[in-house]
Amino acid sequence: MPPVTPPKTFRVKSFGCQMNAYDGERMADLLSAQGIAPAPEGENAELVVLNTCHIREKAAEKVYSDIGRLVKAGDEAGRRPLIAVAGCVAQAEGEEIMSRAPAVSMVVGPQAYHRLPAMLEQALRGERASDTDMPPIAKFDALPARRRSGPSAFLTVQEGCDKFCTYCVVPYTRGAEISRPFKDLVTEAEKLVEAGACEITLLGQNVNAWSGEDQAGRAIGLDGLIRAIAKLPDLQRIRYMTSHPTDVTDGLIAAHGEIDKLMPFLHLPVQSGSDRVLKAMNRSHTADSYLKLIERFRAARPGIAVSGDFIVGFPGETEAEFEETLQLVDTVGYAQAFSFNYSPRPGTPAASMDNHLSAQVMQPRLQRLQAAINRDQLAFNQASVGKTVPVLIERRGKLPGQWLGKSPWLQSVWFDGDHAIGDMVEVELIEAGPNSLEGRKKMAVAA
Ligand code: SAH
Ligand code: SF4
Ligand code: F3S
């Protein structure tokens, strides 16, 4: 490749989970520190980072179509952008990307992106650069301090996964479970709050596997970290995701009843309601043990919103086993949930199992499951109508004077008024749909 003139603008496009969104923000921080500016909305960027997701086949294929689109747009504009592929596809298919997509100059894995500035220098010399090493923690130490934040910020506290669910690529793309040190996390949380965050969501592929030592050297778990961060006076809300049923502790359940700033929301994926399928997935919990956990969370924090993830059509799933999933949904009454058709991932044990189901079998099951989830989401939202709740404004709505924010239960609420992003507004909920609620700003009652 010939040498390239240094890019003046960049864009990071993140796909997949919130941890990827966090990484995307950190890559943007790194590039800004190099003097490269974020490209204005609607304009082509001179450097594009595709921060990819490998969790399902469709997500992974997307990267190649995105590269094609960038090349075409660049050719039309007379200058191709420098392209970096980051994230989990970079980790899993780095070499393949290099050979299949000559327009890509840099391939950087999720644990190596702190080296992006050095890789960029290499790319500017006309050399293609690839780094998919997995040095634990080094990345975080090498990142600049947080200086920017929206009202709701992500903070990665734990990375990687040792659970090896048989369908999942994460243990391979993100490596072994590691917890970031307590002190670093408290410092990063302080910086985020100074930069304007009112809400922090603690992130991890298995966030409740986080463990560390507090300032006194005592061993603590995620609940201890939440307690420490709750002491930051200007921080108003704390959330965490994603949790694994096996790593739920008594302390975490109790925290929901004791810490006001910890929002009444729990994302606890179950994947299936069938114990046979759960075993084949290597999930290490049963439908019943999962339901018992939910009951305990509900006892600690009545009204807590429960969210989950489901996979439909795992190899060998029978109609009766699928119906057990529907039954579990009926029992839990989810406030929201994500559901996906099973997607075989290269190198995972499930990919080589027998009895893969066809799309014709999976699709109607997925539709039935999603109808059940939608019904429960709507019911959860309808039960909130008439309540007045604090809403944290995250962005403008589509119409002038309209605002969009989140309730404590992570419901999207839109309403009109004279406000600003980051305001916490008392809003009366007046109408519910399955995915959002309409609100009205509570008027002060005259004495
Ligand atoms: N660590 C989290 C979730 C990680 S991936 C957990 O253990 O639950 C996010 C979701 O993607 C998973 O919960 C699962 O529902 C879905 N998923 C993962 N691998 C998948 C696959 N091969 N096919 C379909 N969905 C998958
Ligand atoms: Fe994947 Fe299972 Fe780990 Fe979640 S717990 S990231 S689903 S292997
Ligand atoms: Fe996707 Fe990687 Fe997250 S595979 S879901 S971006 S951990």
Distance 220 CA to ligand 1 centre (A): 27
Task: For domain 9-131, give the CATH number.
Answer: 3.40.50.12160
Triad 393, 396, 400: Cα angle to 5°: 130
Nearest CA to ligand 1 atom 7: 244
Using CA atoms, how far apart are residues 421 and 404, in angstroms rounded to an integer?
Answer: 9
Check if CATH label 1.10.600.10 holds for domain 264-268+296-383.
no
Q: Which pLDDT score is estimated for 444? A: 57
Cβ–ligand 1 distance for 243 under 6 Å, the answer no
Cβ–ligand 1 distance for 271 under 6 Å, the answer yes
Ligand 3 atom with the smallest distance to the CA of 174 is: 7
Task: For domain 388-445, give the CATH number.
Answer: 2.40.50.140
Fold match flag (145-262 vs 264-268+296-383): yes
Q: Which pLDDT score is estimated for 134? A: 86
Alpha-carbon torsion angle 84, 207, 309, 171, nearest 10: 50
* Chain Cα centroid distance, residue 434: 21
- H or E segment at 132? none
Cβ–ligand 3 distance for 313 under 6 Å, the answer no
- Determine how β-strand 47-52 pairs with β-strand 9-14: parallel
Using CA atoms, how far apart are residues 102 and 405, in angstroms rounded to an integer?
Answer: 42
User: Taking a C-beta distance cutoff of 8 angstroms, is the pair 161, 174 a contact?
Assistant: yes
Distance 168 CA to ligand 2 centre (A): 6
Distance 135 CA to ligand 2 centre (A): 20
**Which ligand has the minimum distance to the alpha carbon of residue 88?**
3
Distance 399 CA to ligand 1 centre (A): 35
Q: Give which of 356, 206, 357 is closest to 283, Cα–Cα.
A: 206
Q: Which pLDDT score is estimated for 268? A: 98
CATH class of 145-262: alpha beta
As a three-state string, the secondary structure of 185-234 is HHHHHHHHHHCCCCEEEEECCCHHHCEEECCCCCEEEHHHHHHHHHCCCC
Helix intervals (H) in 78-181: 87-100, 116-124, 138-142, 170-173
Cβ–ligand 2 distance for 163 under 6 Å, the answer yes
Tell me the β-bridge partners of 405: 393, 413
Residue 347 burial (CB count, 10 A) = 9
Instruction: Profile the chain (447 residues) by mean pLDDT over runs of 10 residues.
Output: 85 96 95 95 94 91 92 91 96 93 95 94 94 83 87 96 97 95 96 96 97 96 98 97 97 98 98 98 98 98 98 98 98 98 97 97 98 97 97 93 96 94 96 95 64
User: Taking a C-beta distance cutoff of 8 angstroms, is the pair 12, 24 a contact?
Assistant: yes
Using CA atoms, how far apart are residues 130 and 1, in angstroms rounded to an integer?
Answer: 14
Provide the residue ranges of all domains of the chain, joining segments of one domain with +.
9-131, 145-262, 264-268+296-383, 388-445
Cβ–ligand 1 distance for 345 under 6 Å, the answer yes
The Cα-based distances of 278 to 115, 273, 275 in angstroms read: 39, 8, 5
Cβ–ligand 2 distance for 168 under 6 Å, the answer yes
Q: Which pLDDT score is estimated for 7? A: 95
